[in-house]
C-alpha cells in the first residue's frame, strides 16, 4: 500500500487526538512512560473510577510495551499521573452529566482533574491518545487541555432487530464508543424481523419472535453496567406501532389484522401495525413498558414511531369506524392519538419519551424528544416549536458515504436560523447503524472508523472542520480502535481469504483497497436482500470509505496544483496506477477461480488495468509527454463505463482519475 499517514516530525508534539479537545496548548517538553509509572487518586474514588484506571493502565502497557504496576496511590508526591475527581456524578448518568475535564502534562508528570467520574473517563481516553514516540521513547508530550463536549447527546444506534448482534459485539462497540467519547448507546431491540429482548411478563415474544436470538434480561443488565462503566447511557427502543410484525407472531390480538403472523424476512415498510383503537393494546403496553422501564435505568425510552403506513388500519372496518367517531381525518391523526396514549404510559413509568420525526404532529406534548431522520428540517421545525431534538439524518452509515461527508454535517450549521434559546433544544446527534445488510462479522467495518469522525463533530468546537486533518487523525484512530478488539480491518482480510480459498491474497487486497460497497438502497434494489441473504460477498468484505479514497483525492489535488513541481506526488500516483496494471493478471486469475468473486467482480477486475494505464499515462502527459489526439475522449469513456453499477461495489478513485484526465492537454 502506498498510503502512509502523517508527517511525523521527530521532536515536537503531533496532535492525533480524536475528538479534538475544546482547548489545547502544546508546551515544551515531555514525560517518559517507564515501568515506574505511578497513578495517584487524591480525592474522590470509587469502583467505577478504579476499574477505568485499571483498564487505562493495561492499555498504556500494551501501547508502550512497558510493564506498569496497577496499584493506585493516595499521595500526589512522586506520582506520574495525579487524578483529582470531585465526586461520583449522577447515580444514573443523566443527559446533563458534567463530562468536562482538564489534563496537564509537564516534564514532571500529568494531572487529570474532573468534577465527575465520567469527566475523568473522558480525560483518560485523551491521555491514552496523547502517547507518542519521541527520540525512540514513548512519552506524553507536554500539553494543557481544557475539554468539554459541544453537545450533550452523542449517540450510536445499533439495530439488533434485523440481524442479531451477540453480547461481545455490543461490548467491543461500547469500548470503541468510549474511546471517541460517545455517550449514548441507542439499542434498537425490536423490529419486524426479530424481537430481541426477553420479557418475563410476555415470554412468547422472544420464544416465537426471535429465532432464538435475543438478549436475556441478565445480559441486558450486563450491557447496561458495561456501558455505565464507560460513561455511556443505554436508551432502549421498542419501535411501535409499526415495525412490529415479530410481536404479532405470538400476540396477534394487539395487531390491526386477523393474523396469523410470521417473523418477517423481507425488508422495507410493512403494512402491519398495532391496533390503536383497542384498550387491550394499551393494557399490554402498560405491562410491557413497565417491565422494560425497570430493566433499563436511563430516564429516556424510545418508542420508534417511524414508517407506519396505515394500510392495515384502513383495511380494518372497526378501525375506520373509530377514526370517523373521533373525527380523525387521516391515519397520521390516529397515530397521534396512539402517541398520546403511549406517552401517558411511558410517563407513568417515569420515562421521557423519544420518537422518530414522524411523531412530530400537531397535538404532540412538549415533553417528547424528536429524533430527526428524514432531514435536518424537522429538527429545526421541532426546535422552533419548543421540542428537544436529536439529529440523525446525515449520520446514516448505511448510505456508505465518506467520513468527510458525515463530518461536515452539523446539527447546528453556521447559517442556522435558530435563536440561542432554540439552539439549546438541539441536544446533539446520533449515528445510525441499521442492520439489514450486516451481521456480526461485518458490523465493525460499517461503524468504524467513520463513526469516530462523527463523534468529533458532536464533541469538538464547531470550527474544527478541516477534512484533511480529520483524515490524518482518523488513520491513527482506526489503529487504536483495532487495538480495542474491533475487527473493522481484520475482517476484510479474513473475508478475502475465505472468498479466494487461500492465504495468498495480496493482489486481491489491492483490489479491495480501491473498492467500496454501494449504498444500502442501491444494494437493496440490485439484490432484494432479505434477512435470509448470506452476507458473504466481496461487497461485505470491502470497507466503506477505505483509506485509499481520501489519499488519492488528496494526492491528486496536491499534484494538480502544479504538476511540474510535485515529483513526490507524481511518483506516488504513478506507483499506485502501475500497481493496478501489474496486479491485474493475478487478480483476474483468482477472481475467475472463485464462483462468488467471479459473479460479482469479473468486470471490475477487467476494468482495473485499463484504468491504471489511463492514470499512469495522465501523470506522464502532465509531466510533459505528449498526449495523442483522441486519448482524452477514449479515457473519459472508459471512466464513464467504470462508473456504471456492477457487482454492487464501486471504485473509489474515479473522481480524481477524471480530474487528472481533464487536466491533460492534447496536441
Ligand atoms: C428510520 O430510519 N426508519 C428511523
* 600-627 confidence digits (pLDDT tens): 999 999 999 999 999 999 999 999 999 9
- Minimum-distance ligand 1 atom for the alpha carbon of 356: 4
Q: Whose C-alpha lies nearest to ligand 1, atom 3? A: 306
Ligand 1 nearest-atom number relative to CA 396: 2
Residue 377 DSSP SS3 = helix
Residue to mutate (ligand 1; options 307, 358, 430, 433; most atoms within 8 A of CB): 307
**Rounded CA gap, 597 and 591, in Å?**
5
- Ligand 1 lining (C-beta closer than 6 Å): 306-307, 356, 373
CA of 546 to the centre of ligand 1 (A): 26
What sign results for the dihedral spanned by CA atoms 400, 403, 406, 411? positive
Q: Is 600 helix (H, G, I), strand (E, B) or coil?
A: helix
Reported in sequence order, the residue ranges of 341-435 that DSSP labels E, i.e. its strands, are 352-356, 369-372, 389-391, 426-433
Q: Are 60 and 131 in contact (CB under 8 A)?
A: yes
Report how many helices (DSSP H) and strands (DSSP E) the chain contains, helices first: 25, 19
Q: Cα(148)–Cα(562) distance, rounded to whole angstroms?
A: 41
Q: Give the model's pLDDT for residue 362.
A: 83
Helix (H, G, I), strand (E, B) or coil at 451: helix
Peptide bond into 19 cis (omega under 30): yes
Distances, alpha carbon 268 to alpha carbons 252, 438, 440, in Å: 21, 15, 21
Average pLDDT value for the chain: 96
H-assigned helices in 4-130: 47-64, 117-130
Q: How many CB atoms lie within 10 A of CB 88?
A: 14
Q: Which of 460, 633, 474, 612 is nearest to 543 (CA)?
A: 474
Rounded-to-integer distance, Cα 313 and Cα 66, Å: 65
- Burial (CB count within 10 angstroms: exposed 0-12, middle 13-18, buried 19+), residue 25: exposed
DSSP structure string for 32-59: E--TT--EEE-S---HHHHHHHHHHHHH
Output the CA 306–ligand 1 centroid distance in Å.
Answer: 6
What is the distance between the alpha carbons of residues 384 and 579, in angstroms, rounded to a whole number?
55
Give the helix/strand (H/E) hosting 649: strand 649-651
Measured in Å, residue 376 CA sits from the centre of ligand 1 at: 14
CA 432 to centroid of ligand 1, rounded, Å? 9
Question: Tens digits of per-residue pLDDT, 56-86?
Answer: 999 999 999 999 999 999 999 999 999 999 9
Distance 173 CA to ligand 1 centre (A): 21
Rounded mean pLDDT, 424-443: 98
- Å from CA of 161 to ligand 1 middle: 13
CB contact set of 244 (below 8 Å; sequence gap of 6+): 190, 192, 255, 272, 273, 274
pLDDT greater than 80 at residue 3: no
Q: Which of 373, 374, 378 has the most ligand 1 atoms within 8 A of CB, as the residue to mutate? A: 373
Which atom of ligand 1 has the smallest separation from the CA of 304? 4
In the chain, what are the domains?
A: 23-147 (3.30.379.10), 153-465 (3.20.20.80), 490-663 (no CATH)
Give me ligand 1 centre to Cα 524, in Å.
16
Q: Which mutation among 191, 306, 354 tests ligand 1's pocket best, with the greatest number of atoms within 8 A of CB?
A: 306
Q: What is the pLDDT of residue 557?
A: 97
Atom of ligand 1 nearest to the CA of 434: 2
What percent of the chain stands above pLDDT 90? 96
Mutation probe of ligand 1 site: the residue of 431, 434, 524 with most atoms within 8 A of C-beta? 434
Q: In a 3-state reduction of DSSP, which class is residue 22?
A: coil
Catalytic residue status for 358 = no
> Ligand 1 centre and the CA of 520: distance in Å?
13
Environment class of 639 (CB within 10 Å of its CB; exposed 0-12, middle 13-18, buried 19+): buried
Instruction: Give the E-state strand segments of 332-396 in sequence order.
Output: 352-356, 369-372, 389-391
The model's confidence at residue 366, banded by pLDDT at 50, 70 and 90, is confident
The DSSP secondary-structure symbol of 361 reads -
- 564's CB contacts (< 8 A; 6+ apart) are 623, 624
Orientation angle between helical segments 279-295 and 331-348, nearest 10 degrees? 40
CB neighbour list of residue 287: distance below 8 Å, 6 or more residues apart: 201, 202
- pLDDT band at residue 241, thresholds of 50, 70 and 90? very high
pLDDT attached to residue 11: 56
What pLDDT, in 10s, does the model give residues 312-340? 999 999 999 999 999 999 999 999 999 99
DSSP 397: G
SS3 label, residue 66: coil
CA angle 337, 257, 284 (to 5 degrees): 55
Alpha carbon of 194 to ligand 1 centroid (Å): 16
- Whether 4 has a pLDDT exceeding 80, the answer reads no
DSSP letter (8 states) at residue 275? -
Q: Which atom of ligand 1 sits closest to the CA of residue 306?
A: 3
Helix/strand/coil for 464: coil
Mutate to test the pocket of ligand 1, among 270, 356, 435 (most ligand atoms within 8 A of CB): 356
What percent of the chain shows pLDDT beyond 70?
98
Tell me the CA–centroid distance for residue 264 and ligand 1, in Å: 17
> Which residues, in sequence order, are CB contacts of 633 under 8 Å at separation 6+?
none
In this structure, the chain runs to a length of 667
- Choose the catalytic residue: 27, 222, 307, 440: 307
CA dist 515 → 166, 407, 525, 526, 584 (Å): 28, 21, 19, 17, 14
Q: Nearest C-alpha to atom 2 of ligand 1 is from which residue? A: 373
Q: Which of 500, 454, 448 is nearest to 477 (CA)?
A: 448
User: Taking every pair of C-alpha atoms in the chain, what is the biggest distance, in angstroms?
Assistant: 81
For residue 30, list its beta bridge partners. Answer: 141
Residue 9 has pLDDT above 70, yes or no: no
**What is the distance, to the nearest Å, from the Cα of residue 543 to the centroid of all Cα atoms in its chain?**
13
Q: Residue 85: enclosing H or E segment and its boundaries?
A: strand 81-85
The 10s digit of each residue's pLDDT in 479-501 is 999 999 999 999 999 999 999 99
DSSP state of 393: G
Closest CA to 411 of 98, 155, 147: 155
Ligand 1 atom showing the smallest separation from residue 307 Cα: 3
Residue ranges of alpha helices (H) inside 528-630 are 538-541, 547-561, 567-593, 595-622
The upper half-sphere exposure of residue 644, i.e. CA atoms within 13 Å in the direction of its Cβ, equals: 7
CA distance 343 to 353: 7
Residue, of 437 and 365, whose pLDDT is higher: 437
Amino acid at each position: 500500500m502506498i498510503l502512509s499517514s502523517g508527517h511525523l516530525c521527530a521532536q515536537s508534539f503531533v496532535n492525533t487526538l480524536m475528538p479534538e479537545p475544546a482547548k489545547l496548548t502544546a508546551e515544551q517538553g515531555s514525560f517518559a512512560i517507564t515501568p515506574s509509572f505511578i497513578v495517584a487518586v487524591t480525592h474522590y474514588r470509587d469502583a467505577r473510577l478504579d476499574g477505568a484506571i485499571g483498564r487505562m493502565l493495561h492499555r498504556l502497557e500494551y501501547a508502550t510495551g512497558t510493564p506498569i504496576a496497577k496499584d493506585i496511590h493516595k499521595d500526589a508526591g512522586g506520582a506520574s499521573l495525579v487524578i483529582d475527581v470531585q465526586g461520583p456524578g449522577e447515580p444514573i448518568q443523566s443527559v446533563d452529566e458534567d463530562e468536562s475535564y482538564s489534563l496537564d502534562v509537564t516534564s514532571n508528570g500529568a494531572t487529570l482533574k474532573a468534577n465527575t467520574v465520567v469527566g475523568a473517563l473522558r480525560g483518560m481516553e485523551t491521555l491514552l491518545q496523547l502517547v507518542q514516540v519521541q527520540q525512540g521513547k514513548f512519552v506524553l508530550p507536554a500539553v494543557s487541555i481544557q475539554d468539554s463536549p459541544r453537545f450533550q447527546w452523542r449517540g450510536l444506534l445499533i439495530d439488533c432487530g434485523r440481524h442479531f448482534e451477540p453480547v461481545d459485539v455490543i461490548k467491543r462497540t461500547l469500548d470503541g464508543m468510549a474511546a471517541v467519547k460517545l455517550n449514548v448507546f441507542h439499542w434498537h431491540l425490536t423490529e419486524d424481523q426479530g424481537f430481541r429482548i426477553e420479557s418475563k411478563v410476555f415470554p412468547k415474544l422472544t420464544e416465537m419472535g426471535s429465532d432464538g436470538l435475543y438478549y436475556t434480561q441478565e445480559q441486558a443488565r450486563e450491557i447496561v453496567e458495561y456501558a455505565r462503566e464507560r460513561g455511556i447511557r443505554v436508551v432502549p427502543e421498542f419501535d411501535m406501532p409499526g415495525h412490529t410484525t415479530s410481536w404479532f407472531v405470538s400476540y396477534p390480538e394487539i395487531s390491526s389484522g386477523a393474523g396469523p403472523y410470521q417473523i418477517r424476512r423481507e425488508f422495507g415498510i410493512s403494512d402491519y401495525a398495532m391496533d390503536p383503537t383497542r384498550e387491550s393494546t394499551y393494557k399490554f403496553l402498560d405491562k410491557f413498558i413497565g417491565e422494560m422501564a425497570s430493566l433499563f435505568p436511563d430516564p429516556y425510552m424510545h418508542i420508534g414511531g417511524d414508517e407506519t403506513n396505515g394500510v392495515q388500519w384502513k383495511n380494518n372496518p372497526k378501525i375506520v369506524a373509530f377514526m370517523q367517531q373521533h373525527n380523525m381525518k387521516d391515519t397520521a391523526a390516529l397515530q397521534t392519538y396512539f402517541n398520546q396514549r403511549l406517552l401517558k404510559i411511558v410517563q407513568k413509568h417515569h420515562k421521557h419519551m423519544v420518537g422518530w420525526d414522524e411523531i412530530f404532529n400537531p397535538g404532540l406534548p412538549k415533553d417528547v424528544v424528536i429524533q430527526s431522520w428524514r432531514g435536518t428540517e424537522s429538527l429545526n421545525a421541532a426546535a422552533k416549536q419548543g421540542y428537544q431534538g436529536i439529529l440523525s439524518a446525515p449520520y446514516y452509515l448505511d448510505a456508505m458515504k465518506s467520513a468527510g461527508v458525515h463530518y461536515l454535517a452539523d446539527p447546528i450549521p453556521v447559517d442556522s436560523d435558530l435563536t440561542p434559546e432554540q439552539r439549546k433544544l438541539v441536544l446533539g446527534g446520533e449515528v445510525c447503524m441499521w442492520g439489514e445488510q450486516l451481521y456480526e462479522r461485518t458490523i465493525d467495518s460499517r461503524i468504524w472508523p467513520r463513526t469516530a469522525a462523527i463523534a468529533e463533530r458532536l464533541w469538538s468546537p464547531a470550527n474544527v472542520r478541516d477534512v484533511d486533518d480529520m483524515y490524518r487523525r482518523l488513520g491513527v484512530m482506526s489503529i487504536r480502535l483495532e487495538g480495542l478488539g474491533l475487527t473493522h480491518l481484520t475482517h476484510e482480510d479474513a473475508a478475502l481469504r475465505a472468498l479466494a480459498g487461500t492465504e495468498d491474497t495480496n493482489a486481491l487486497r489491492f483490489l479491495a483497497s480501491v473498492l467500496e460497497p454501494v449504498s444500502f438502497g442501491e444494494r437493496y434494489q440490485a439484490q432484494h436482500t432479505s434477512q435470509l441473504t448470506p452476507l458473504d460477498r466481496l461487497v461485505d468484505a470491502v470497507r466503506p470509505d477505505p483509506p485509499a479514497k481520501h489519499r488519492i483525492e488528496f494526492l491528486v489535488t496536491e499534484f494538480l496544483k502544479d504538476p511540474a513541481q510535485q515529483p513526490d506526488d507524481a511518483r506516488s500516483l504513478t506507483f499506485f496506477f502501475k500497481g493496478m496494471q501489474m496486479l491485474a493478471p493475478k487478480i483476474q486469475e483468482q477472481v475467475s477461480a472463485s464462483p462468488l468473486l467471479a459473479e460479482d467482480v469479473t468486470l471490475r477486475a477487467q476494468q482495473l488495468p485499463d484504468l491504471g494505464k489511463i492514470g499512469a499515462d495522465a501523470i506522464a502527459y502532465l509531466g510533459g509527454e505528449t498526449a495523442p489526439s483522441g486519448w482524452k475522449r477514449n479515457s473519459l469513456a472508459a471512466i464513464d463505463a467504470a462508473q456504471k453499477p456492477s457487482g454492487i461495489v464501486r471504485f473509489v478513485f474515479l473522481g480524481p482519475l477524471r480530474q487528472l484526465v481533464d487536466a491533460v492537454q492534447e496536441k
